Amino acid sequence: MDGDLALKVERFIKEEGLLQPGDGIVTAVSGGPDSVALLHLLFSLSERWRFRLIAAHVNHGFRGEESREEAEFVKELARRLGIPCETIEIDVPSYIEETGKNAQLAAREQRYAFLLETAYKHGANRVALAHHADDQAETVLMRVLRGASPAGLSGIPLRRMEKNSVELIRPLLRIYKSDLVQYCEQRGLAYRIDSSNLKTKYFRNQVRIELMPLLERYNDKLAQALNRLADMAAAEDEYMQAETKRLYASQVRAAEGVYRLSAAAFAAVPVALQRRLIKLILSYLGADGDSADYAKIEELRVAAMRPGPPNIRLEAGAGIALTREYDMISFHRMKLSPSAYTYSMTAGDRLLVIPETGVTLHMELREASGVSLRPADEAEALFDLGKVKLPLTVRSRKPGDRMKVLGLNGTKKVKDMFIDAKVPPSIRQLVPVVEDASGTVLWLPGVRRAAAAPVTEQTEALLHLKVCMPDRP
């Protein structure tokens, strides 16, 4: 059986391209039968494949003398095989106390960090982990119980690329534990049993010790069925992720930490891709899996398309917000509204930068003869300088601001003008109010010019204003 297992593992490595001749491989060895078998299997292939093996062991500080004995056991195993061995003792209980993380997550974080450090130290390009098919079955069942997404049903990934081009691989993911134990016994390989694996205070142990045997009464091939589900889910997830990235490339515009797309285009996308696109954008904004659960994703998806108010804002968790402004959906980090400001521009000023918003206002005074009397676009405005009282005041908008609009009797609320022009709320808070020394509102830069100081054929001198609003989409 042991020869058959070695051939099976080697064939799997070749089929999946997990390893290449000459690879440097850090092998995580806990001392249990799974990792002992993995180290020995890779060692048996190392001469023909020219592998450069390094054993690595982490003492998490949970089990006192038992943990220290396991570390010594791994060192001796590596010594007998002639393999370098790196070990570390980490005070994970203290790390748990500092971070508030659960024991298994804390131990995994510290263990993986050490494995990657060992790979960098030895110039290795692979880290081999001993997860096997029973681990995969347990993981899928745990995720089913917790309400996993279709992507979650893919279980433990076969490979994952880490930083600095070091890849985590799991060569035993199609091998069952009974075969690994049998391999060790037939080879006379000693191993250690972690006593914490027998305690049902951990959820995984409860699933393995209590739930799996119960469910196997209804399907004695339960582990195989769960592994098939993981294989199918992984293949379909890979395809859906590729489709999601294609959709992202064609529909989403990213600039300065804001991800924008059309609400109408988003509504035309199948629901499955809508959910995945939201998760992808949230991941780019730094959200972790816990802040992107099904309920939150669905809340964001529905809000992005819900008929009703043209403008909405919804917190997505982790300091991220979704904003819909008319047809534009934006995902972004939550920002504080700009603080109130007031600045003055005298006849000698040419440039005003508003640090609260990043908006820049240019001013030029010039003769009217020989120049166009029409602004180039909505970012510019021309006024009859003889009818304007300087200095100008450039300030943030106030409740109740009004402006006299050309063609209307009386004045109109600035707020209503923003609504009529369908100016997104995120832009409204950037738009300054420009008024002259008499308090007459002259211009909402980039939005609307007042009726005051119109330019005519009799105008002798011009006040030329131009705004730059870099954050405007």
Q: Stretch 157-182: mean pLDDT, rounded? A: 95
Looking at residue 91, what is its pLDDT? 83
**Residues 290, 312 contacting (CB under 8 angstroms):** no
Q: Stretch 20-48: mean pLDDT, rounded? A: 97
Q: pTM surpassing 0.75?
A: no
**pLDDT tops 80 at residue 5:** yes
Provide the β-strand partners of residue 304.
none
Proportion of the chain in helix, strand, coil states, percent, rounded to 5: 45, 20, 35
Q: What top-level class would CATH report for the domain 252-333?
A: alpha beta
Looking at residue 18, what is its pLDDT? 97
Nearest residue to 127 (alpha-carbon basis) of 27, 21, 23, 30: 27
Locate CATH 3.40.50.620 in the chain.
2-230
Q: Which of 261-275, 421-435, 449-463 has the lowest mean pLDDT?
A: 421-435
Looking at residue 326, what is its pLDDT? 87
Q: Stretch 138-150: mean pLDDT, rounded? A: 93
Looking at residue 55, what is its pLDDT? 98
Looking at residue 187, what is its pLDDT? 94
Looking at residue 403, what is its pLDDT? 92
- Identify the residue with better confidence: 308 or 2: 308
Looking at residue 30, what is its pLDDT? 95
Looking at residue 453, what is its pLDDT? 92
- Identify the residue with better confidence: 277 or 425: 277
> What percentage of the chain carries pLDDT values higher than 70?
97
CATH of 2-230, one of 3.40.50.720, 3.40.50.620, 1.10.340.30, 3.40.50.450: 3.40.50.620
Long-range pairs for 121-125: beta carbons < 8 A, 24 or more residues apart = 121/86, 122/24, 122/26, 122/52, 122/54, 122/84, 122/86, 123/24, 124/23, 124/24, 124/25, 124/26, 124/52, 124/54, 124/166, 125/23, 125/24, 125/165, 125/166, 125/167
Q: pLDDT tens digits, residue range 347-366?
A: 999 999 988 888 999 999 98
If phi > 0 it is left, if psi is from -120 to 50 it is alpha, else beta; for residue 118 that is alpha
Phi and psi, residue 320, nearest 5°: -115, 145
Q: pLDDT tens digits, residue range 68-85?
A: 999 999 999 999 999 999
Average pLDDT for the chain: 90
**pLDDT tops 80 at residue 57:** yes
Q: pLDDT tens digits, residue range 410-445?
A: 889 988 888 888 888 778 888 999 999 999 999 999
**pLDDT tops 70 at residue 288:** no
Looking at residue 1, what is its pLDDT? 41
Query: Which pLDDT band holds residue 218 (cuts at 50, 70, 90)?
Result: very high
Within 13 Å and on the Cβ side, how many CA atoms surround 423? 21
**pLDDT tops 80 at residue 183:** yes
342-468 architecture in CATH? 3-Layer(bba) Sandwich (3.50)
**pLDDT tops 50 at residue 473:** no
Locate CATH 3.30.465.60 in the chain.
252-333
- Identify the residue with better confidence: 251 or 296: 251
Q: Stretch 444-462: mean pLDDT, rounded? A: 90
Q: pLDDT tens digits, residue range 83-122?
A: 999 999 988 888 787 777 777 788 888 899 999 999 999 9
Locate CATH 3.50.40.10 in the chain.
342-468
> ω before 391 within 30° of 0 (cis)?
yes
Secondary structure (3-state) at 82? coil
